[in-house]
Structure 1
Amino acid sequence: MAALAVLLLVVAAVEGGAAWSFWPPAAGDEPYCLSWRVMVEANNAKNWPTVPPPCVGYVWRYMAWGQYARDVAGVADQIAAYAAQLAAGDDGLDAWVFDVDDTCLSNLFYYQAKQFGAYDPVAFKKWASKAICPGVPGMAQLFQTLRGRGFRVFILSGRDQQTLASSTAANLAAAGFAGYDRLIMRSAEYRGMSAVVFKSAMRMQLMEEGYRIRGNVGDQWSDLQGDFVGDRVFKVPNPMYFVP
């Protein structure tokens, strides 16, 4: 009854011409920041350069205090349930594609240290070259589960191949992502291309090699859009940054 009463009050306010404004509070506000995060995950918020200042604390709490880990576990459970319905062919051509940053490897401590500020390619390259990113919770186990079911797994990253290939491979191995079929990174000819265009081109190459992309996992919608995205895509939550 209480919920019905609240709903009736909301309806009455709307019908009475009350103005509902979303953007933004002057200080931290949990309901506002939750709504913003939902818009991010639904891909309704686009091209945002930084986390809104009132939500910096909220994003840290979401990422570090358990809700993020629960949400990632939910995604992993959905992937595992879907994969369990598939039978990898004897030809070895059924494949999955995984992104790297904040899909396999977590950059939380890097972004938290800079208060979730704007992307800095020089600073991020310095961070990534250290090869100290922890794994995203539960994703290495999922990765090994897919391999155990006979799927080929390709790691597709927008990181620069020339400068970050060795450190990325070392970091993946340290985080439990051993045994992938190929680490595909951005070579010089693809610099300057959007993530959607670059990753579409790389997936097209896999398809031309005969692979069937049964699933595609990424933390950015740009990992999951474009051409040859696969039979099904899975979005890992990430309210820290946006990659167009």
Structure 2
Amino acid sequence: MARNLAFLLLIHSILLGISAADWNILNQKKGKYGLQITLKNYCESWRMNVELHNIRDFDIVPEECVEYIGKYMGSTQYKVDSERTVDESTVYLSTSCSLKKDGSDAWIFDIDDTLLSTVPYYKKNGFGGIKLNLTSLEEWMKHGKAPALEHSLRLFNQLKGLGVQIILVSSRRECLRSATIDNLVDVGYHGWTSLILRGTDDENKDIQKYKADVRKQLISKGYRIWGILGDQYSSIEGLPTAKRTFKLPNPLYYVA
């Protein structure tokens, strides 16, 4: 009897596992509360919850949402969402920043999908629906062909005009320094104070700790970090932080 019960429980567990693994919005007609769910509704909700930081640590975009995310990244809506983030940064600068203009006012920028767009790479590599091949991405970066994000370039130049020290802190590895500098300059970024990339001592740290450690070092040197602009929460979370942080939209990937 006990053996039969154990066997039935095993079969039940397997069936539940298969059911969960096979779940797909395309097979669902109604949501939990009887609401009619379309693929667009579901994928927009997934994207929104990525931005709200409710969905974390995902390796790939859900298969059923890859096309939707690809369209979003090339859409006017993505540009408007990015522009609004930068506009809020500008409002903050003009209303809440009492810049000392003594050489210690600073602003931190991430690079990938903050200053430079990796969308051309992801367009050819599954729009986040394929697990990232870091070697392939770095080879693409070495060509230095990433386009500028225009709204970020506008903020970059505004800060430079105000005399704010611009510090670029990226999870790119040190071996990409030359290609990164060439790419940035080619698309219009120049005049930053410092470009900080991951050295060999940083490669075993998670990105959030690495970037928090960089901020700690900058503050110890006397910098007042008024703001951070990045596309990942790992660029803006952790202590010490800036007086304000601003996150650009990016549902393509998650960097912890």
- What's the offset of the Cα at 1:24? 4.2
Map 1:180-219 → 2, pairs under 5 A? 180-219=192-231
Tell me, yes or no, if structure 1 residue 49 matches structure 2 residue 62.
no
Residue number among 94, 99, 102 corresponding to 1:84 in the alignment: 94
Conserved 8 A contact 1:80-1:142: yes
Deviations 1:62-108 (A, max 9, x none): 11121110100000100011011223213210110000000000000
Amino acid at match of 2:245: V
Q: Is the 8 A contact 2:58 2:254 kept in 1?
A: yes
Which of 124, 128, 142 is the aligned partner of 2:141? 128
1:73 aligns with: 83
Q: Deviations over 1:139-184 (max 9, x none)?
A: 11110001111211100001001x1000001111112111110000
Match of residue 26 from structure 2: 26
In structure 2, what is the Cα distance between the partners aligned to 1:82 and 1:200? 22
User: Partners of 1:160 and 1:107 in 2: how far apart?
Assistant: 16
Unaligned runs of 5+ in 2: 1-22, 28-37
- The 5-angstrom pairing of residues 162-241 of structure 1 reads 163-241=175-253
Provide the C-alpha distance between the structure 1 equivalents of 2:99 and 2:76, rounded to a whole number of angstroms: 34
* SS of structure 1 residue aligned to 2:192: coil
Aligned to 1:14: none
Query: What is the TM-score of this pair, normalised by structure 2?
Result: 0.84
- Distance in 2 between residues matched to 1:113 and 1:156, nearest whole Å: 26
CA–CA distance in structure 1, aligned partners of residues 39 and 186 of structure 2: 38
Distance 2:103 2:24 in 1: 51
User: Alignment length, in residue pairs?
Assistant: 221
| Structure-2 residue corresponding to 1:148 | 161
Rg comparison, structure with higher value: 2
The alpha-carbon deviation at position 137 of structure 1 amounts to 2.9
Amino acid paired to 1:96: W
Q: Is the 8 A contact 1:92 1:152 kept in 2?
A: yes
Deviations 1:30-50 (A, max 9, x none): 100000001000110011001
| Distance in 1 separating the partners of 2:94 and 2:208 | 28
Equivalent pair of 2:106/2:166 in contact (CA under 8 Å): yes
- The runs of 5 or more residues in structure 1 that have no matched partner are 1-22
Runs of 4+ with deviation above 2 angstroms: none
Distance 1:219 1:206 in 2: 21
The question of whether the paired residues in 1 share the 8 Å contact of 2:101 and 2:164 is answered with: no
Partner residue of 1:103? 114
Identity of aligned residues (%): 34
Partner deviation per Cα, 1:175-222 (whole Å, 9 max, x = no partner) = 211111000000111112101110011111100110010001110001
- Contact 2:108/2:227 (<8 A) preserved: yes
The match for 1:61 among 67, 71, 83 is 71
C-alpha distance after superposition, 1:114-152 (max 9, x if no partner): 112212111111011110000123111110001111211
